């Protein structure tokens, strides 16, 4: 899973990236709110770890703005302002959890895992997209009540594309979110899975290539094809 870490202190940022990577997370970093907003506009993250006091503003004020723009991603806020009123304010203004500085990496990881599990449990168990019905918990895909045999990687790629339907998702983001390990053959790995998905989702063409960038899942064009 890919996380966005928004922290302006280079030393703490590097330390957190190391600790989170060690337990299997892929971490993208931002040093200020502008970089964070740009990252959120381009990618989907499993969670955001957001420092409150940043060079270009208050992270909590920015989080309120993100929530008004319908950001659903869970956010864990970090801050040295660790009194009860600040905790209550952060939770009321859009943070899903709150961790005061200084903190142990083990506590951050534990809180993050609980946050992700809670977010996962909150979403509908089954959702319908056009002719497709996705059972998230069991990783099952049906079309017109017929089960389509997808492996775990195929389901992960399809889930990301469907959740961003109508938007272009880069090959790099698909790779980072669904594989999360280093390889020199990113393009080939993603292309193989997308080609397999296209075959299994027929009839209709649902996944479109945006040359030189990535792929887009389009329900309207798929149903018309």
CATH of domain 126-224: 1.10.10.10
| 67-88 tens-digit pLDDT | 888 788 899 999 887 677 877 8
| 97-118 tens-digit pLDDT | 989 888 999 999 999 999 988 8
CATH fourth-level superfamily of 2-122: Response regulator (3.40.50.2300)
**What average pLDDT does the segment 194-199 reach?**
94
Which of 88-92, 122-126, 187-191, 202-206 has the lowest average pLDDT?
A: 122-126
More confidently predicted of 137 and 60: 60
Helix (H, G, I), strand (E, B) or coil at 49: strand
Q: How confident is the model at residue 54 (pLDDT cuts 50, 70, 90)?
A: very high
Residues in the chain, total: 225
Domain with CATH 1.10.10.10 in the chain: 126-224
- Region label for 223, one of left (φ > 0), alpha (ψ between -120 and 50) or beta (otherwise): alpha
Question: In angstroms, rounded to a whole number, what is the distance separating the alpha carbons of residues 225 and 222?
Answer: 5
Question: In angstroms, rounded to a whole number, what is the distance separating the alpha carbons of residues 198 and 169?
Answer: 16
Domain with CATH 3.40.50.2300 in the chain: 2-122
Query: To 10 degrees, the CA torsion angle through 77, 78, 83, 86?
Result: -40
The pTM score is 0.62
Helix (H, G, I), strand (E, B) or coil at 99: strand
Question: In angstroms, rounded to a whole number, what is the distance separating the alpha carbons of residues 193 and 66?
Answer: 33
Contact predicate 125/165, CB 8 Å? no
| 120-140 tens-digit pLDDT | 766 667 888 888 988 877 788
Contact predicate 165/218, CB 8 Å? yes
More confidently predicted of 181 and 163: 163
Mean pLDDT of the chain: 87
């Amino acid at each position: 899973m890919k996380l966005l870490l928004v922290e302006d202190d280079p030393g703490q940022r590097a330390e957190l990236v190391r600790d989170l990577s060690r337990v299997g997370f892929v971490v993208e970093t931002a040093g200020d709110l502008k970089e964070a907003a740009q990252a959120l506009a381009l990618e989907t993250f499993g969670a955001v770890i957001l420092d409150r006091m940043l060079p270009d503003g208050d992270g909590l004020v920015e989080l309120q703005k993100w929530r008004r723009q319908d950001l659903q991603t869970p956010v864990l806020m970090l801050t040295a302002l660790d009194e009860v009123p600040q905790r209550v304010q952060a939770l009321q203004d859009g943070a899903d959890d709150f961790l005061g500085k200084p903190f142990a990496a083990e506590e951050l990881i534990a809180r993050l895992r609980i946050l992700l599990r809670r977010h996962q449990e909150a979403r509908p168990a089954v959702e319908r997209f056009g002719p497709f019905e996705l059972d998230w918990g069991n990783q099952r895909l049906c079309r017109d009540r017929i089960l389509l045999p997808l492996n775990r990687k195929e389901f992960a790629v399809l889930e990301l594309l469907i959740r961003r339907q109508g938007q272009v998702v880069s090959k790099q983001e698909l790779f980072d979110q669904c594989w999360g390990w280093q390889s020199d053959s990113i393009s080939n790995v993603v292309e193989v899975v997308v080609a397999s998905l296209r075959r299994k989702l027929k009839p209709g063409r649902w996944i479109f290539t945006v040359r030189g960038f990535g792929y887009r899942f389009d329900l309207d064009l798929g149903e018309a094809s």
